[in-house]
Amino acid sequence: MPEYAYTDSDILIKPDVQNLDSLNIEWYINDKPYSEYADGKLDNSGGTIRFKKKGHYTVTASITDETGREYRYDAKTDIYSVPQIGFEVPENTHTDINTEIKTNIIEADGLDIVWKISKDNGEFKELADGTIQNEGGTIRFKDKGSYILKASVTDSFGRVFEYSSEIIKVYPVPEVDFSADSGAEYPLPLYGYKDKNITVIPKVNELGSLKIQWLISKDGKAEKDYSAYVQGAMTNDGGNITFTNTGDYTLIAKVTDETGRVFTYSEDIMINATPEIDFTVPEYGYAGETVNISSDNSYKSEWTISKDSGKSEKYGKYADGTLTDKGGAVSFKDKGVYNITLTVTDRAGKTYSCTKRYGLLSRH
């Protein structure tokens, strides 16, 4: 008998007997029939048994001869449990997810678990950030691939017990970036104009064979296929589009990977109509007359006036009265040739100007 063994050990017992003749050996463990403590079969030739539980055991071979005299031999052994390490891992995860590892440990009290990871059937080494202890933990895989998690413990006799997980498939995070600071070849501008072409070529990473679904929402409403709002075509490489109406839009790139996870990237764009600036003013007038200036403008406006090809100044330097976005009534102080300029600023902050000449004559 070995001095110690484990509950997963098949123990070979081979007795050395002499003068047995027709007598039979009766086998006992802790003075009870051996089958209460062990599986297997023992006879006169011995046999192989496996203990059912850990513990301290005495195995007895007993022979009783024809006179009723009993002969017995005892052998002691210690049986240790086999540590069991069960752990739950997901079938798949992503490189941006903290993956929880749950453990279920049996008969491993006082033993420290050593954790290792193998990628794509390679060597076991550090391939993830985070910590796993006996109670489990959280890790984040550094790169895409197929991983196996291995847990091992070493007992006081130096025996190593190892357990491996099923394959964990780790997927990358696809990236589609078309923001102004993305480094994309043609990012989406912050603003554009109705019926004007806009080129968008995004910066992509880890897209592989996945397809980008392009969507657009307008003025905060539900998203629709991009073709509902623009003319043109968009693919994984981007494309050229033309918005057919003004408004506040959000261009959305949606990618669904093999696991069904959806990744969404979006940028806003303001689409304006190109302002058509005009106003009416008489070609000439006389001192003391009121000059009516009229505009259909709906943008934020600024009026300036220059005299006799001089520098443009705020209109109040040369005229009395008030001018608003829609124009107004003014009277000029001195005779001369005046250039009247209307400058408007659209929602994107871009300015447009229109200038007309007015001559102030003196009466004879």
Best CA proximity match to 252, nearest among 230, 232, 223, 228? 223
For position 124, what pLDDT does the model report?
Answer: 62
DSSP calls for 125-178: E--EEEEEETTEEEEEESS-EEEEEEEEEE-TT--EEEEEPPPEEEE---EEE-
Identity of the amino acid at 104: N
pLDDT in tens, the chain (364 residues): 899 999 999 999 999 888 888 899 999 999 999 999 999 999 999 999 999 999 999 999 999 998 999 999 999 999 999 999 998 999 999 999 999 999 999 988 889 999 999 998 777 667 889 989 998 999 999 999 999 999 999 999 999 999 999 999 999 999 999 999 999 999 999 999 999 999 999 999 999 999 999 999 999 999 999 999 999 999 999 999 999 999 999 999 999 999 999 999 999 999 998 888 999 999 999 887 999 999 998 888 999 999 998 999 999 999 999 999 999 999 998 889 999 999 999 888 889 999 999 999 877 6
CA distance linking residue 55 with residue 81, whole number of Å: 9
For position 48, what pLDDT does the model report?
Answer: 97
CA distance linking residue 156 with residue 162, whole number of Å: 15
CA distance linking residue 132 with residue 163, whole number of Å: 15
Contact between 23 and 64 under an 8 Å Cβ cutoff? The reply is: yes
Q: For the purposes of burial, counting CB atoms within 10 Å of the CB of 33, is it exposed (0-12), middle (13-18) or buried (19 or more)? A: exposed
CA distance linking residue 169 with residue 145, whole number of Å: 6
For position 126, what pLDDT does the model report?
Answer: 73
CA distance linking residue 202 with residue 213, whole number of Å: 13
Using a cut of 0.85, tell me whether the model's pTM lies above it.
no
